[in-house]
Amino acid sequence: MKAFNDLADFSSEEIAALLKLASRLDSAPEPAALRGKVLALLFLSPSLRTLASFQAAMTRLGGGAFVISPEMSIHGIETRPGIVMDGAAAEHIREAVPVIASYGDAIGIRAFAERKNLANDLAETEFKALTDLIDTPYINMESALNHPCQSLADWKTMNDLDIPAQGGKFVLSWAYHPKALPFAVPAATVHMAAMRGMDVTVLRPEGFALPDAVMEKAHAAAELSGGSVIETDDRVEAMEGAHVIYAKSWSSARHYGDRIADEKARSELYHWCVDDPWFDNARPDCRFMHCLPVRRGVVVSDKVLDGPRSVVIHEARNRMVVQMAILHQMMGAKA
């Protein structure tokens, strides 16, 4: 495997094989599989779960990881092309990325959306500029529009819990948050659920539709898998018979990069906090999912998050489990 960048790069069979490998490595550890192997971890954006789970995954397979983030460097890392570097930054990303990659058998890269220009972020301009610098196998640890490790973990979590693929109803719901957040998780999630063959409803208030390109990609996945994708702002309709609600806040595409306008657009939407009444017409065993970190009392009530519907810790642990499979495929001995 040369890259783990997007679930869309894999067939359903390949995903199934990865998830099978993940389960096997979880139940039958292979502490010598990657001995002497090195994973470089480059965080251009902050992290907790990703930082911890990748290091843990490498240790469990007998290898190791090292972590680089820009604040470790002498004076930050310059990213602008063609610039005369006579300011604070002493190093350019054009050297930093290939050098860091050269120490690893694979590299994980995290770089959140710039959120200045939607077209650029939809095209993954920044992330591609980084991966174009290297030949080393790489893992997308969250980019402007993707978070494939999270999506693979979420897929596995639904399998673990026997939530049906064909015929399973998956609601991706916008939730309130004081800040305009990126599209990475919602874009990856709607595509993942569609690719899994589920009937997906995107529930969001007026003005917070996902970008067309995101919806088109999800529709294409549904077409292949036999699933479906619809959008609505009607919570009752959305939650009818749902197996899963996956909550996440995201920006308004209309006001992309305009923090003030986005805040205004969401200012009256603080009732979009998932709470018990949301589940009134869902399936009795409807699950609550979230990628974490999650704001209590803002995105979801304490009662739901601490209650039996919540599977957020299971999802988070599965990050480590599926990443073991990715790393094993990427760096392990060929059969």
For its own copies, the binding residues (CB under 8 A) are: 29-32, 35-38, 40, 46-49, 51-53, 55-56, 58-66, 68, 72-74, 78, 82-86, 90-92, 94-96, 98-100, 102-104, 178, 292-298, 302, 305-306, 312-313, 316-317, 320
Amino acid residing at 13: E
Query: Which one, 190 or 320, has the nearer CB to its own copies?
Result: 320
DSSP calls for 104-142: -SEEEEE-----S-HHHHHTTHHHHHHHTT--S-EEES-
Q: What's the CA angle centered on 174, arms 199 and 168, to 5 degrees?
A: 20
d(CA 43, CA 32): 27
Would you say 204 and 165 are in contact if contact means Cβ atoms under 8 Å apart?
Answer: no
d(CA 292, CA 113): 18
d(CA 280, CA 200): 19
Q: Considering the complex, what minimum distance in angstroms separates the CB of residue 40 from its own copies?
A: 7
Q: Considering the complex, what minimum distance in angstroms separates the CB of residue 38 from its own copies?
A: 5
Query: Which one, 36 or 277, has the nearer CB to its own copies?
Result: 36
Query: Which one, 49 or 169, has the nearer CB to its own copies?
Result: 49
d(CA 150, CA 280): 28
d(CA 148, CA 102): 23
Query: Which one, 254 or 296, has the nearer CB to its own copies?
Result: 296
Query: Which one, 60 or 196, has the nearer CB to its own copies?
Result: 60
Which structure tokens are listed for 282? 């869902």
d(CA 204, CA 326): 32
SS3 state of residue 298: coil
d(CA 298, CA 273): 6
Q: Considering the complex, what minimum distance in angstroms separates the CB of residue 36 from its own copies?
A: 3
Q: Considering the complex, what minimum distance in angstroms separates the CB of residue 41 from its own copies?
A: 10
Q: Considering the complex, what minimum distance in angstroms separates the CB of residue 232 from its own copies?
A: 26
Q: Considering the complex, what minimum distance in angstroms separates the CB of residue 14 from its own copies?
A: 25
- CA neighbor of 93 nearest in space, from 141, 65, 133: 133
- CA neighbor of 174 nearest in space, from 278, 98, 101: 278
- CA neighbor of 322 nearest in space, from 64, 150, 111: 150
Q: Considering the complex, what minimum distance in angstroms separates the CB of residue 192 from its own copies?
A: 20
Q: Considering the complex, what minimum distance in angstroms separates the CB of residue 79 from its own copies?
A: 12
Query: Which one, 96 or 152, has the nearer CB to its own copies?
Result: 96
Query: Which one, 153 or 193, has the nearer CB to its own copies?
Result: 153
Query: Which one, 77 or 194, has the nearer CB to its own copies?
Result: 77
d(CA 296, CA 291): 13
